[in-house]
Amino acid sequence: MNKDGDSATVKSKSKSAADNMDEYFVPGEGGGEGTKKRLSIERIYQKKTQLEHILLRPDTYIGSVEAVTQSMWVLNEDQSHMIQRDITYVPGLYKIFDEILGSYYYFFTIFLKIYNYTVRTSSIFNSI
Protein backbone atom coordinates (compact mmCIF):
# COMPACT_ATOMS: atom_id res chain seq x y z
CA MET A 1 0.00 0.00 0.00
CA ASN A 2 1.23 3.48 -0.78
CA LYS A 3 0.55 6.55 1.38
CA ASP A 4 -2.74 7.26 -0.45
CA GLY A 5 -4.11 3.88 0.60
CA ASP A 6 -3.99 2.41 -2.93
CA SER A 7 -2.27 -0.88 -3.42
CA ALA A 8 0.78 -0.53 -5.63
CA THR A 9 1.42 -3.04 -8.37
CA VAL A 10 4.90 -4.35 -8.96
CA LYS A 11 5.84 -5.27 -12.49
CA SER A 12 8.25 -8.12 -12.97
CA LYS A 13 11.17 -7.41 -15.27
CA SER A 14 11.95 -11.07 -15.88
CA LYS A 15 10.50 -12.82 -18.91
CA SER A 16 8.16 -15.73 -18.59
CA ALA A 17 9.13 -19.10 -20.01
CA ALA A 18 6.78 -18.56 -22.97
CA ASP A 19 8.42 -15.23 -23.78
CA ASN A 20 11.86 -16.84 -23.70
CA MET A 21 10.72 -19.54 -26.13
CA ASP A 22 9.52 -16.89 -28.61
CA GLU A 23 13.16 -16.10 -29.32
CA TYR A 24 13.50 -19.51 -30.99
CA PHE A 25 10.56 -19.13 -33.36
CA VAL A 26 10.11 -17.06 -36.51
CA PRO A 27 6.72 -16.00 -37.89
CA GLY A 28 5.37 -18.42 -40.48
CA GLU A 29 4.15 -17.58 -43.97
CA GLY A 30 0.81 -16.27 -42.76
CA GLY A 31 2.48 -13.91 -40.29
CA GLY A 32 -0.03 -14.83 -37.61
CA GLU A 33 0.68 -15.98 -34.09
CA GLY A 34 -0.44 -19.55 -34.76
CA THR A 35 1.81 -20.07 -37.79
CA LYS A 36 5.23 -19.82 -36.11
CA LYS A 37 7.87 -22.29 -37.16
CA ARG A 38 10.84 -23.37 -35.08
CA LEU A 39 14.36 -22.08 -35.86
CA SER A 40 16.90 -24.72 -36.81
CA ILE A 41 19.42 -25.77 -34.20
CA GLU A 42 22.18 -24.26 -36.37
CA ARG A 43 20.54 -20.81 -36.14
CA ILE A 44 20.05 -21.02 -32.36
CA TYR A 45 23.55 -22.26 -31.45
CA GLN A 46 26.55 -21.09 -33.42
CA LYS A 47 30.20 -21.97 -32.88
CA LYS A 48 32.22 -18.79 -32.42
CA THR A 49 35.85 -18.09 -31.69
CA GLN A 50 36.72 -16.28 -28.49
CA LEU A 51 37.35 -13.04 -30.41
CA GLU A 52 34.02 -13.30 -32.29
CA HIS A 53 32.16 -13.86 -29.03
CA ILE A 54 33.83 -10.85 -27.37
CA LEU A 55 33.04 -8.62 -30.33
CA LEU A 56 29.45 -9.89 -30.54
CA ARG A 57 28.66 -9.55 -26.83
CA PRO A 58 31.14 -7.15 -25.16
CA ASP A 59 28.71 -6.39 -22.32
CA THR A 60 29.28 -9.95 -21.06
CA TYR A 61 32.91 -9.10 -20.31
CA ILE A 62 33.17 -5.36 -19.60
CA GLY A 63 29.65 -4.09 -19.05
CA SER A 64 27.48 -1.82 -21.14
CA VAL A 65 28.96 -0.19 -24.23
CA GLU A 66 26.16 2.38 -24.45
CA ALA A 67 26.71 5.92 -23.13
CA VAL A 68 25.01 6.59 -19.79
CA THR A 69 24.20 9.95 -18.17
CA GLN A 70 24.34 9.89 -14.38
CA SER A 71 24.45 12.49 -11.63
CA MET A 72 27.84 12.34 -9.85
CA TRP A 73 30.04 14.35 -7.53
CA VAL A 74 33.04 15.84 -9.36
CA LEU A 75 35.85 18.22 -8.42
CA ASN A 76 35.34 21.80 -9.58
CA GLU A 77 38.91 22.81 -10.46
CA ASP A 78 38.20 26.56 -10.39
CA GLN A 79 36.94 26.68 -6.81
CA SER A 80 38.59 23.48 -5.46
CA HIS A 81 35.42 21.91 -4.08
CA MET A 82 33.04 19.13 -5.05
CA ILE A 83 29.90 19.81 -7.09
CA GLN A 84 27.15 17.49 -8.28
CA ARG A 85 26.48 17.44 -12.01
CA ASP A 86 25.40 15.10 -14.81
CA ILE A 87 28.22 13.10 -16.35
CA THR A 88 27.95 11.09 -19.58
CA TYR A 89 30.28 8.11 -19.80
CA VAL A 90 30.54 4.57 -21.19
CA PRO A 91 30.59 2.01 -18.34
CA GLY A 92 32.60 -0.49 -20.42
CA LEU A 93 35.44 1.98 -20.98
CA TYR A 94 35.34 2.93 -17.30
CA LYS A 95 35.67 -0.76 -16.38
CA ILE A 96 38.69 -1.22 -18.69
CA PHE A 97 40.39 1.87 -17.23
CA ASP A 98 39.64 0.72 -13.68
CA GLU A 99 41.04 -2.74 -14.44
CA ILE A 100 44.28 -1.26 -15.80
CA LEU A 101 44.76 0.92 -12.70
CA GLY A 102 43.88 -1.93 -10.34
CA SER A 103 46.30 -4.32 -12.04
CA TYR A 104 49.06 -1.71 -12.04
CA TYR A 105 48.59 -1.07 -8.31
CA TYR A 106 48.57 -4.80 -7.53
CA PHE A 107 51.72 -5.60 -9.51
CA PHE A 108 53.51 -2.50 -8.21
CA THR A 109 52.87 -3.48 -4.57
CA ILE A 110 54.01 -7.07 -5.28
CA PHE A 111 57.15 -5.72 -6.95
CA LEU A 112 57.92 -3.51 -3.92
CA LYS A 113 57.48 -6.45 -1.52
CA ILE A 114 59.80 -8.63 -3.60
CA TYR A 115 62.34 -5.80 -3.93
CA ASN A 116 62.30 -5.06 -0.18
CA TYR A 117 62.64 -8.77 0.63
CA THR A 118 65.56 -9.12 -1.80
CA VAL A 119 67.37 -6.05 -0.45
CA ARG A 120 66.83 -7.13 3.16
CA THR A 121 68.00 -10.72 2.61
CA SER A 122 70.99 -9.67 0.50
CA SER A 123 72.15 -7.25 3.23
CA ILE A 124 71.91 -10.05 5.81
CA PHE A 125 74.00 -12.40 3.68
CA ASN A 126 76.55 -9.69 2.89
CA SER A 127 77.10 -8.98 6.59
CA ILE A 128 77.94 -12.62 7.39
pLDDT, one tens digit per residue, over 30-57 is 555 556 677 788 877 888 899 998 888 8
CA gap 120, 122 in Å, rounded: 6
Residue type, 7: S
Residue type, 98: D
DSSP string, 52-71: HHHHH-GGGTT---S-EEEE
Instruction: Please list the helix, strand and coil fractions of the chain in percent, rounded to the nearest 5, in that order.
Output: 50, 15, 35
Q: Is the pTM of this model over 0.75?
A: no
Q: Given pLDDT bands bounded at 50, 70 and 90, which one contains residue 9?
A: very low
